[in-house]
Structure 1
């Protein structure tokens, strides 16, 4: 017996049936695979579509914070890149509790007046702004000191006296250099010399008021001219001045002008 004798050759109908079955299974697998990938592609497409339509909210950016203090208040200013409201929170104690002042108008340039502050005192504050969409930003806490008033401690001293020229000597026009010093108490903004009373018939020639800002610890020189008669060898000059402190109070030196 040979192997050839044992081999069973299937009939044509059986072969055709087997081929059809394989085709059906192959097509079925392909359809399932395509359906699976189609579902994944659809899911991926929906994800990117959602990302394309999403917008990150934009918060206002606060910059250029500037407090300008007076004796009894301050104006706090700042800018934002988006239109937003204005809020200032202030306290005499770092970290609060805070008093809140606000303006609901949406603006880019912000300014809030903080009234009723004690003079010569440190004030802590922070600012915040919120857009119409509800997005807000808040600054870190900062501080400023209100101005302090009081009478400036002024003194007047003579530095030198001289004839500016030979013609001035002939005409009796004497120049005297003075210095006003501020020894403290408060800044003097400004000091104004309003008049001079002289003895021995000497005339004060500078009719226009002289003014200068003299901070505490500073001084300012100035020169006045006097008309002196030929027989006069000396004279006294009482110079009257006023000074204003940072809080607006005005003081007279050496006393009220007669």
Structure 2
């Protein structure tokens, strides 16, 4: 006997917050009456942690600790044993969105090494000014071989509301060699771990060119970057995992030499 089952939520918008009710109907379709031993629904919310391939073999003890972190686990019976008549039957259900113990219901998020299956914060302006010269560059052994340049700028905030753009400006005061491009690179940093060790992986999730060619000196170039909805989430830091974000201001010289200035970001949802 053929029976089809579907779960339909009452709300078209599937965004829920802790404390709200997850309500809907179980829809059964059959041509003939169907006997059953009861119908129940189970709802789970978990955080899955996954090691990157480069960490395999490094943290053997880590594998036992990288287990799904359960945030929600609820089971309800929507119908006792009985018979469903032929045709279409709708059985209502409702789950309260309550976490287990003292767990936090993090925002649903799909990264590369951290996945969350289902906090608002105060955002204080944190502007930052920067100056880039050969002397300010890190991890550069032969600064004397670099051309002379002076680049200034600022970010309006490094603590950012995720629904609003990252803004600021960059100014090339002078440069001995022509500039090929100026770019903004958004990086997601996912860290998974425990007492035995941590695996940290950075992934470029967006790159925007804000200037092309040898730009005019002393000209203000606006910085404007919208945070991609599917690849960002509010900054998270827990015992077993972290999801953080950084932005790089990248200056590409005519010989494809890269000059990079890095800024950690804190993303919030208000």
TM-score in same-fold range (> 0.5)? no
Which protein is bigger by CA-based radius of gyration? Answer: 1
Higher helix share: 1
Higher relative contact order (CA 8 A, sep 6+): 2
